[in-house]
């Protein structure tokens, strides 16, 4: 395939890329990758969505790491559609990428494409969201631990008064949503004064969380706190609460998005758990390059997490302290 690609003109290659909705990121040109059998490693990255700052930064982290390593990264955005993601992965396999990085829309739904990659001899690594089988390694963070960290902190803040806590969930059936919910529930179970109301799945998208929170607030006007499975949704809930004069209702999320971190010192946004997407994307690419070299990697690679609250939010926001180091 590498030899065949040497016969394709640059114009035809660009046209093919456009037709398949797969973009080439900095880190090595598509033409160079096509013309040299011993050229840069070709990485295919199929991402679930770009509809959240977290996923935009995850891509940026992967692109930066690929560029630093001199690798070519072919990127495809599934837009939350598992059918499109399967088609994207097939396109990447057809390009004969050396390794494939998948951030799945649906862990079960991408299994046929993972099987196709295996048949083509392309190694698969997953990032952020794991799949049941077929990947050599998964690079992510302990989502249950993140939910537990935030749950413990929010429970402490509510104290003996407790109250109703609305939970805005991620994606139905997703392992990340399941674990972030389970960790949170276990952490607050020690406080019998807390009642959790499980809200709808908002797919980690702020706009959907805004709509959900508007409806939930009508049903639960006495809400004491909101926990969302990511900061983007939590910020959407915070927006609705402020618009309705609910400045005393506490909010917490997960991911450590800077926009959320900067809200913490004001007091209403209580906490988030560090899940820096840039370092996660970089770690995933680093792992893929190890796989390509034939090096042994662990099947589950935990990038680590920490709680961010009023005690350390200022350090994280200004780029000092251990949290700034963790985000690099």
pLDDT tens column, 122-154: 999 999 999 999 999 999 999 999 999 999 999
| 168 and 253 part of one domain | yes
Which CATH number fits the domain that encloses residue 116?
3.40.50.2300
Region 213-230: what's the mean pLDDT? 97
Per-residue pLDDT, averaged over 30-57, amounts to: 75
Whether residue 42 has pLDDT greater than 60: yes
Is residue 285 domain-resident?
yes
Same domain (yes/no): 211, 282:
no
> pLDDT exceeding 90 applies to what percent of the chain?
80
Asked if pLDDT for residue 87 goes beyond 80, the answer is yes
**Mean pLDDT, to the nearest integer, of 296-301?**
95
Residues 18 and 15: their CA atoms lie apart, in Å, by: 5
- Residue 158 in any domain: the answer is yes
- pLDDT grade for 48, boundaries at 50, 70 and 90: very high
pLDDT at 262: 95
Residue 128 and residue 23 in one domain: yes
234 and 111 within one domain? no
287 and 197 share one domain = no
Per-residue model confidence (pLDDT) at position 39? 75
Domain range for 86 is 2-140+277-297
* Average pLDDT value for residue range 188-202: 96
**CA distances (Å), origin 50, targets 46, 61, 131, 186, 259:** 11, 13, 20, 31, 17
Query: Helix, strand or coil for residue 135?
Result: coil
Q: Which residues, 6 or more positions from 115, have their beta carbon under 8 angstroms from its beta carbon?
A: 134
Q: Per the domain annotation, does 105 fall within a domain?
A: yes
Please, how many CA atoms are within 13 Å of residue 307, restricted to the half-sphere of its CB? 16
Whether 94 and 161 map to the same domain: the answer is no
Which tops the pLDDT comparison, 167 or 10? 167
Q: Looking at the domain assignment, is residue 302 inside a domain?
A: no
Same structural domain, 153 and 263: yes
Q: DSSP 3-state assignment of 112?
A: helix
Residue-wise pLDDT for 279-289, tens only, equals: 999 999 999 99
Residues 105 and 153 in one domain: no
Report yes or no on 150 lying in a domain.
Answer: yes
Does residue 292 have a pLDDT over 70? yes
pLDDT of residue 317: 80
Provide the b/e sequence for 276-310 (b: ≥16 CB within 10 Å): bbbbbbbbbbbbbbbbbeeeebeeebebebbbbbe
* pLDDT confidence of residue 18: 30
Inform me whether the pLDDT recorded for 326 exceeds 70.
no
Q: Is residue 164 part of a domain?
A: yes
pLDDT band at 325, cuts 50/70/90? very low
Residue 13 has pLDDT above 50, yes or no: no
Task: For residues 67 and 242, give the distance between their C-alpha atoms in angstroms, rounded to a whole number.
Answer: 42
Please answer whether residues 224 and 250 qualify as being in contact, where contact means their C-beta atoms are separated by less than 8 angstroms: yes
Residues 112 and 175 in one domain: no
Same domain, 71 and 194: no
Task: Please report the pLDDT score of residue 8 as a whole number.
Answer: 33
Q: Mark out the alpha helices in the chain (DSSP H runs).
A: 2-5, 10-19, 30-35, 53-69, 82-94, 111-119, 143-158, 175-188, 206-219, 231-243, 258-261, 277-292, 313-317, 321-327
Residue 163 belongs to a domain: yes
pLDDT band at 16, cuts 50/70/90? very low
**Model confidence at 112, in pLDDT bands (50, 70, 90)?**
very high
Same domain, 37 and 75: yes
- Pair 262, 281 in one domain: no
Angle between helices 53-69 and 277-292 (to 10 degrees): 40
User: What does pLDDT average to over the chain?
Assistant: 87
Determine contact, residues 79/49, Cβ cutoff 8 Å.
Answer: yes
- pLDDT of 23 above 90: no
Examine residue 304 and state whether it is found in any structural domain, yes or no: no
Provide the domain count of the chain. Answer: 2
């Amino acid at each position: 395939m590498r030899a065949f690609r040497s016969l394709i003109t640059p114009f035809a290659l660009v046209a093919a890329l456009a037709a398949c909705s797969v973009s080439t990121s900095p880190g090595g040109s598509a033409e160079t990758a096509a013309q040299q059998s011993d050229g840069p490693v070709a990485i295919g990255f199929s991402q679930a969505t770009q509809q959240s700052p977290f996923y935009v930064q995850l891509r940026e982290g992967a692109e930066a790491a690929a560029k630093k390593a001199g690798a070519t990264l072919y990127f495809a955005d599934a837009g939350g559609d598992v059918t499109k993601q399967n088609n994207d992965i097939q396109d990447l396999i057809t390009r004969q990428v050396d390794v494939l990085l998948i951030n799945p829309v649906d862990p079960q739904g991408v299994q046929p494409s993972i099987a196709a990659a295996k048949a083509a001899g392309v190694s698969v690594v997953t990032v952020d969201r794991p799949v049941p089988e077929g990947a050599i390694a998964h690079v992510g963070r302990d989502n249950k631990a993140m939910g537990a960290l935030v749950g413990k902190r929010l429970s402490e803040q509510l104290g003996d008064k407790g109250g109703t806590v609305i939970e805005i969930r991620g994606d139905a059936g997703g392992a990340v949503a399941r674990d972030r919910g389970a960790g949170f529930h276990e952490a607050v179970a020690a406080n019998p004064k807390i009642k959790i109301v499980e809200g709808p799945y908002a797919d980690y998208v702020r706009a959907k969380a805004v709509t959900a929170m508007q409806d939930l607030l009508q049903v639960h006007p006495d809400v004491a706190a909101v926990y969302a499975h990511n900061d983007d949704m939590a910020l959407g809930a915070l927006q609705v609460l402020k618009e309705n004069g609910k400045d005393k209702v506490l909010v917490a999320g997960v991911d450590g998005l800077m926009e959320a971190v900067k809200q913490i010192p004001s007091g209403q946004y209580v906490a988030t758990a560090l899940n820096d997407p840039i370092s996660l994307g970089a770690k995933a690419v680093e792992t893929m390059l190890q796989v390509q070299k034939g090096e042994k990697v662990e099947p589950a690679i935990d990038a680590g997490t920490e709680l961010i609250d009023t005690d350390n939010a200022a350090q994280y926001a200004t780029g000092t302290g251990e949290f700034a180091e963790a985000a690099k």
